[in-house]
Amino acid sequence: MNKIETIIIGGGQAGLATSYHLKQLGREHVVLEAAEKAGNAWRNDRWDSFTFVTPNWMIQLPGAHYDGNDPDGFLPKAEIVAYFEQYVEKYELPVRYNTTVLEVAPLEGRIGYLLETSDGTYQAKDVVMATGSFQKPKIPAFSSDIPAGITQLHSGHYRNPNQLPEGAVLVVGSAQSGMQVAEELYQSGRTVYLCTGGAGRVPRRYRGREIFYWLRDTGFLDLTPDKLPSLKTRLGGNPHCSGKNGGHSLNLHQYARDGVHLLGHIAGMQAGKMLLKPDLKENLAKADKAEKDITGMIDRYIEAKGVNAPRETLPDLQDGYAVDVITELDLKAAGVNTIIWAMGYKSDFSLVKLPITDEDGFPIQKGGVTQYPGLYFVGMNWLSKRKSVTLWGVNEDVESIIADIAK
């Protein structure tokens, strides 16, 4: 039996930030990480050309704020991984790799938790769930009906165009990941079919500044879940914002202009044909509206605060609306030999043997603190604010749970 005061499950940004604070307080703890090295999600669940979607100045883990000479740049994959490795090394954080947590159960008759892991049994007074929002790839059940000769992989397993067999590629999903992967593929010369969804769009730059400066200053990133029209929107895809290698805007209409075949939501599979919803134009309208809403909010902020920023009118592209809407795609006739599922991830907290999630599978908590003494969550999208999942915002939730642990 390994008895430790606090156990952090997950060695990503939230888990490491929690470990940093506990180390500063001199509190006994350990981070249990299933992977063999730090920065696993960035190392093994991202493609080769991946860069941060948020600018470098937003890298603000406690004790390791970005101090390089390119604050408005976008760190590439190798440097992201190195950042996490150096963070663990610099602060000598107690991370145990290759340790998968299988179950977390409350101790009978007293406060604390019993953890069954691939490395034996642990007992802890406090448990911090830092496994994040993106745990299990979303792949529809009807994927088993797709002809065996077609390669299927999730966007987290995509690396580069050369990895794929020859032929056209169907990318399913038009949030950040699907848009970046589709862009890289069609610019490499591949024929690309793209199933669109309801994800919005924001420009990379607007009125003389990188978009995230405006999103910070307007309070957009500090929005709390109670301001959402529905809590279900916490689970929606992130708006497409940055193209491959960072630094430029994405637009579905530009994709149509460049020859990408735009489709509606995917609906199923039948006799070698992909069934599609006739909602392409609705999806395009949602992306267009999201951009207009965001830029309108920024315009109002600039006017109200008297900010000196040049006026700007973004290109009003309409190419996607001229595309014929189809309700089925014959994969063989279209030459599709690869499907990339870019539908995001889903959370799974079933290893915790307590009723800790709501009807959407989202943890029931306030600022990361649950109703169960010593059980916490950090590092999830919309945990307390929109920015909770980012390297810029995660520390606020971490400090919230640290205050409770310290009590």
The rounded radius of gyration (Å) of the Cα atoms in the chain is 22
28 and 127 belong to one structural domain: yes
Q: What is the pLDDT of residue 233?
A: 77
11 and 68 belong to one structural domain: yes
Domain boundary residue among 311, 341, 371? 341
Q: Cα(274)–Cα(267) distance, rounded to whole angstroms?
A: 8
Residues 6+ apart with CB under 8 A from 34: 40, 98, 99, 100, 101, 118
pLDDT over 90 (residue 81): yes
32 and 169 belong to one structural domain: no
Count: domains in the chain: 2
Q: What is the pLDDT of residue 245?
A: 76
Residue carrying the six token digits 């005061």: 5
Mean pLDDT, rounded, for 363-379: 96
pLDDT over 80 (residue 218): yes
Q: Which uninterrupted H or E stretch holds 64?
A: strand 64-65
24 and 55 belong to one structural domain: yes
Q: What is the pLDDT of residue 388?
A: 93
* Each residue's pLDDT tens digit, 317-345: 999 999 999 999 999 999 999 999 999 88
Long-range contacts of 346-353 (CB under 8 A, 24+ apart): 346/135, 346/136, 346/138, 347/133, 347/134, 347/135, 347/136, 347/380, 348/135, 348/136, 349/129, 349/131, 351/101, 351/102, 351/103, 351/104, 352/104, 352/129, 353/103, 353/104, 353/105, 353/106
180 and 123 belong to one structural domain: no
* Each residue's pLDDT tens digit, 131-187: 987 778 899 999 999 999 999 999 999 999 999 999 999 999 999 999 999 999 999
- What amino acid is encoded at 325 in this protein? V
78 and 62 belong to one structural domain: yes
**What are the backbone dihedrals phi and psi of residue 397, each rounded to the nearest 5 degrees, phi first?**
-70, -35
Domain boundary residue among 324, 341, 358? 341
H helical segments located in 249-354: 252-257, 280-305
Q: Cα(115)–Cα(127) distance, rounded to whole angstroms?
A: 9
Task: Check which CATH number belongs to the domain holding 101 and give it.
Answer: 3.50.50.60
Domain boundary residue among 341, 368, 388? 341
Q: Cα(366)–Cα(251) distance, rounded to whole angstroms?
A: 36
161 and 291 belong to one structural domain: yes
- Whether 262 and 268 have beta carbons less than 8 Å apart is answered as no
150 and 286 belong to one structural domain: yes
Domain that includes residue 302, residue range: 137-341
* Each residue's pLDDT tens digit, 219-259: 999 999 998 888 777 777 778 888 777 778 999 999 999 99
pLDDT over 80 (residue 402): yes
27 and 99 belong to one structural domain: yes
Q: Is 131 exposed, middle or buried (0-12, 13-18, 19+ CB in 10 A)?
A: buried
